[in-house]
Amino acid sequence: MSTDEAGQGGPSAGGPGNSAEDHGGSGGNLIQLVTPAGERISHPEFDPWVQEITDENLCSLYEDMMVVRRIDVEATALQRQGELALWPPLLGQEASQIGSGRALRDDDFVFSSYRENGVAYCRGVGLTDIIRVWRGNASAGWDPYTINMATPQIIIGAQTLHATGYAMGIQNDGADSVAITYFGDGATSEGDVNEAMVFAASFQVPVVFFCQNNQWAISEPVRLQSHIQLADRATGFGIPSMRVDGNDVLAVMAATRVALDRARRGGGPTFIEAVTYRMGPHTTADDPTRYRDPNELEDWAAKDPISRVASLLERKGLFTEELQQHVHVKADAVAREMRLGCTTMPDPEPLDIFKHVYSSPNSWLDRQQDHYSRYLASFGDPAGAASEEGAR
Amino acid sequence: MTQMTFARAINAGLRKSLENDPKVILLGEDIGTLGGVFRVTDGLQKDFGKHRVVDTPLAESAIMGTAVGLAYRGYRPVVEIQFDGFIYPAFDQIVSQVAKLHYRTQGAVKMPITVRVPFGGGIGSPEHHSESPEAYFTHTSGLRVVTVSNPQDAHTVIQQAISCDDPVLYFEPKRRYHDKGEVDESIDPGSAIPMDKARVLTEGTDVTLVAYGPLVKTARDAATAATDEGISIEVIDLRSLAPVDYATVEASVRKTGRLVVTHEAGQSGGVGAEVAASITERCFYHLEAAPVRVTGFDIPYPYSKLEMHHVPGLDRILDGVDRALGRPNSLSGLEG
């Protein structure tokens, strides 16, 4: 009695891997369409995937990244001012998140970690909903089905399995949507991420593994996680991979489109390593000066994803006063709305803690709730009843 | 009514759920072509296809994690964990995701996942094949934990678990898989006794004996044996471990004044501890004696030559009954 009989069968089990296909194999070459200096360079393989991007689209991508950076800065400020308990900045990762997020269809489904607030913005999340969790008002900011994006996953890598399972469901349903999962370089060491790739490859399901290699897992550098490039890990699972310049919004969009297209056509999973940099701390509770060389930050600042697009727009004569003014006004408005949503968010009610543990009555919990509501009622001020100092 | 084994009764229940709801999907190791190492899923892949009865790669966390994703997509996954001792790699997905997602998303995302776990000892297996891990899960809010003790319940409760919108851990007493019993397949799970209710199996007046899963049979045998000595035992099959149906246990203890709880799992922090504490809180003044626990010891599950020293048997249960009744017993004369 043991588990030594390898499972076979199931959805498309044993289907051929397509690692030898286009864009497959080693992700050694960094895909880049725009240099850090803002020069558009041609890439015969990936150019076609962004060829319909108009000047207007380019300006729009610039706007998205500027707005998301502003959201990030504003949320960090809100944390410093005591309005948020914590915030995980995405500073520096805007191109990875906007480039991939804007490649998705509405009926695709996102399973992310806690840092993908830029992706959430692309999905159309409510600005107040982004910060609900970080203010401590809820464990999830939104209903996942309203924007087809699961709420932030805090357990590292756990969401990659959810995406893979969701993709098994898509496959069973005969749909052509895709599940995409976001995770970091640190997560690639987690068992769940590796198991997700095993399942995704075995069943050839429509899932995209989008790894933002931002070089740091809190204080641990990526070289502690892997002795090979992260994109090359996928090869061992029979999953084609790409290594893309994560600070190049066009390259990220092209690579994501390639992966999405393959998944929609029944070609199975793809692994994308977006090489980027976490310019801020892990969260507002972190102090990167304890483990990071300041020169490294300088090097990456020179490759900033937003100034890169600004340079490109400038070269094209599109970086007008009007555009900058428009983006500035938009970012300000978004920040204002988010701040207002934050400071006027109603506090949850004490008995809310008992809600939704189960979907139907539970005799244990109903009794505890009943007893606690009696306890609260015995105080004049229920808020005082839960304070550490007590209300007696 | 049909005579069938415990395993066949679960199989028939799974078949009904697969027939009644196209969103029901089975996931597990060896459950397809082989029909499961205990043959509980025998023939289901052949009849429902590889997309509904899925042989998975050998990774328990992935089985559970992909079940979460399928539930997100509107499916009702039924996961088989091959043996109790193999559930731990899936523990994080169960505790951090399956149990919490409904709460986390304020009810937006339902997790109607059933996790089938063959549990308990007595089959002469090596390590990791005979464990009783139920208390890890009864301690986890957001999960429902049920056990079954006879083929009829096995058949009905598996269907109730699958149709429940909450995640359910369904513990199957593996050493009873081959026991036969009458099963009425026409019983409507929706109108049968709900899965979170306990059942009084034999009425008695002297002591309440609470058991679940594999020890229900032992408890009934103990009650029969006790009648020879003029002791009247009320046996309760607890069935649901989370939540426990305290109303039924309490009503019995108010009548008998004495409580014995038995399970194979170790004693500390176990279901017996919770039942003893809760009943003491609820009807202390009706108790004539301290509640008694007759359980496995706080040891790793032992090697099979000695396993029946660990698993409570009929005599140990009756010794506990004697203790509850203040009759001479193995601990007579010991304080505390």
Interval B266-283: pLDDT, tens: 999 999 999 999 999 999
Strand order in the sheet with B207-211: B199-202, B233-237, B207-211, B259-266, B292-296
pLDDT band, very low/low/confident/very high, at A21 (cuts 50, 70, 90): very low
Query: Is residue A1 scored above 90 in pLDDT?
Result: no
Phi, psi of B251 (to 5 degrees): -60, -40
Phi, psi of B79 (to 5 degrees): -100, 135
Query: Is residue A392 scored above 70 in pLDDT?
Result: no
pLDDT tens string A233-271:
999 999 999 999 999 999 999 999 999 999 999 999 999
Question: Please, what is the Cα angle at B166 between B212 and A196, to 5 degrees?
Answer: 105
As a three-state string, the secondary structure of A131-189 is HHHHHCCCCCCCCHHHHCECCCCCCCCHHHHHHHHHHHHHHHHCCCCCEEEEEECHHHH
Which pLDDT value is given to residue B336? 60
Query: Mean pLDDT for chain A?
Result: 92
pLDDT tens string A39-49:
999 999 999 99
Per-domain residue ranges of chain A: 25-343, 351-391
Whether B57 and A362 lie within 8 Å, measured CB to CB: no
Q: Is B129 considered catalytic here? A: yes
Query: Is residue B334 scored above 90 in pLDDT?
Result: no
Which pLDDT value is given to residue A11? 36
Q: Which among B89, B106, B129 has CB closest to A138?
A: B106
Chain B residues touching residue A7 (CB < 8 angstroms):
29-30, 32, 55-58
Q: Is A260 exposed, middle or buried (0-12, 13-18, 19+ CB in 10 A)?
A: buried
Query: Mean pLDDT for chain B?
Result: 97
Q: B36: which DSSP letter? A: -
Say if residues A365 and B243 touch (Cβ distance below 8 Å): yes
Q: Which among A3, A109, A158 has CB closest to B86?
A: A3
pLDDT tens string A223-235:
999 999 999 999 9
Query: Is residue A383 scored above 50 in pLDDT?
Result: yes
Query: How far is A307 from chain B, CA to nearest CA, in Å?
Result: 37
Whether B107 and A356 lie within 8 Å, measured CB to CB: yes
Q: Indicate the SS3 state at residue B4.
A: strand
pLDDT band, very low/low/confident/very high, at A2 (cuts 50, 70, 90): very low
Query: Is residue A17 scored above 80 in pLDDT?
Result: no
Residue A139: closest C-alpha in chain B: B104
Among B48, B72, B165, the residue to mutate for chain A (most A Cβ within 10 A): B72
| A25-343 has CATH 3.40.50.970 classification | yes
Q: Which residues contact B335 (CB under 8 A, 6 or more apart)?
A: none
pLDDT band, very low/low/confident/very high, at A29 (cuts 50, 70, 90): confident
Instruction: Give me the percent of chain B exceeding a pLDDT of 70.
Output: 99
- Rounded to an integer, what distance in angstroms lies between the CA atom of residue A327 and that of residue A334? 10
pLDDT band, very low/low/confident/very high, at A380 (cuts 50, 70, 90): confident
Say if residues A23 and A45 touch (Cβ distance below 8 Å): yes
The structure tokens listed for B35 are 């029909």
Place of tokens 């105080």: A379
Asked whether the bond before B243 is cis by omega within 30 degrees of 0, the reply is yes
Q: What is the mean pLDDT of residues B295-319?
A: 97
Q: Pick one of 3.40.190.290, 3.90.1070.10, 3.40.640.10, 3.40.50.920 as the CATH number of B199-325.
A: 3.40.50.920
Predicted ipTM? 0.96
Query: Is residue A65 scored above 90 in pLDDT?
Result: yes
Per-domain residue ranges of chain B: 2-183, 199-325
Query: How far is B90 from chain A, CA to nearest CA, in Å?
Result: 10
Nearest in space to A21 (alpha carbons), one of A272, A270, A340: A270
Beta strand pairing call for A179-184 and A207-213: parallel
pLDDT tens string A352-366:
999 999 999 999 999
Task: Tell the CATH superfamily of the B2-183 domain.
Answer: Thiamin diphosphate (ThDP)-binding fold, Pyr/PP domains (3.40.50.970)
Interface of B with A in 15-34 (CB under 8 A): 25, 29-30, 32-34
Name beta bridge partners: A217.
Answer: A220
Question: What torsion do the CA atoms of A351, A357, A363, A365 make, to the nearest 10 degrees?
Answer: -40
Whether B102 and A3 lie within 8 Å, measured CB to CB: no
Q: Which among B68, B100, B165 has CB closest to A162?
A: B68
